[in-house]
């Protein structure tokens, strides 16, 4: 027997409890670090759990920004330069990645705060995370203000991609498990994965 919680019940929940609960509902989330730089050359790095696939042709990824939170520097930098990087978080540095969520002042780079290494390709005005084995450089192509809560959806197009060839399958599938990419549940729980199966294309 499942417990029912109504919309009105949710409104009455204690703030921290509600935040944990609602953040758990969507299921497991991608775990990425977004790298940006401002016009003065200050690098910024922030953990995001909202990056999703938006389309393969053209190659697009989306993510949600809360401009009034610690995401603010990320958003401002993307608006200023037009570029950002998405870097997978792996098992061997997920604790460092989580540390980028702390509220550092603009002049302190989260790369330094978290102990991660910025790396530039020369093609994109944004820093990559040297420790990551799957990283993407994107240009901002579209943004949508979400009226319901003042968040901003950012859609970016892939400009370049760096990956460990050992995880690239002959059909284009990336073995994220072999790369030890992690996923997130709720606000603060990190998980590794174990493959159940790859399923064939579904037909009626």
Closest CA to 152 of 41, 88, 75: 75
Q: Which of residues 32-51 bind its own copies (CB under 8 A)?
A: 32, 49-51
94 binds its own copies (CB under 8 A): yes
10 Å CB burial of residue 150 (0-12, 13-18, 19+) is exposed
Query: Under the criterion CB under 8 A, does residue 155 sit at the interface with its own copies?
Result: yes
Residue 120 touching its own copies (CB under 8 A): no
Q: Which stretch binds its own copies (CB under 8 A): 36-44, 75-83, 196-204?
A: 196-204
Is the Cβ of residue 15 or residue 41 nearer to its own copies in the bound state?
15
Among residues 112, 124, 130, 31, the alpha carbon closest in space to that of 84 is found at 124
Q: Residue 60 corresponds to which tokens in the numbers above?
A: 């697009």
The DSSP-derived string for 123-171 is SSSS-EETT-SEEEEEEEEEEEEETTTTEEEEEEEEEEEEE-GGGB-TT
Which of 75, 104, 126, 131 binds its own copies (CB under 8 A)? It is 104
> Strand, helix or coil at 69?
coil
Stretch of 35-43, 75-83, 85-93 contacting its own copies, by CB under 8 A: 85-93
- Stretch touching its own copies by CB under 8 A, among 34-42, 74-82, 159-167: 159-167
**117 vs 193 by CB, closer to its own copies:** 193
186 makes contact with its own copies (CB under 8 A): yes
């Amino acid at each position: 027997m499942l417990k029912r919680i109504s919309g009105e019940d949710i409104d009455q929940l204690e703030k921290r409890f509600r935040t944990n609960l609602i953040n758990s509902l969507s299921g497991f989330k991608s775990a990425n670090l977004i790298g940006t730089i401002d016009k003065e050359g200050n690098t910024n790095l922030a953990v995001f759990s909202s990056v999703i696939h938006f389309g393969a042709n053209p190659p697009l990824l989306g993510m949600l920004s809360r401009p009034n939170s610690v995401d603010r520097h990320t958003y401002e930098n993307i608006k200023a330069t037009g570029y950002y990087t998405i870097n997978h978080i792996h098992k061997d540095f997920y604790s460092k990645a989580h540390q980028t969520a702390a509220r550092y002042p603009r002049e302190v780079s989260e790369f330094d705060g978290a102990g991660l290494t910025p790396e530039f390709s020369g093609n994109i005005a944004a820093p990559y995370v040297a420790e990551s084995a799957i990283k993407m450089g994107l240009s901002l192509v579209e943004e949508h203000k979400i009226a319901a809560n003042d968040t901003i959806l950012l859609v970016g197009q892939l400009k370049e991609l760096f990956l460990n060839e050992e995880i690239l399958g002959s059909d284009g599938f990336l073995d994220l498990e072999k790369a030890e990419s992690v996923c997130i549940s709720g606000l603060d729980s990190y998980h590794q994965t174990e493959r159940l199966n790859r399923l064939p294309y579904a037909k009626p």
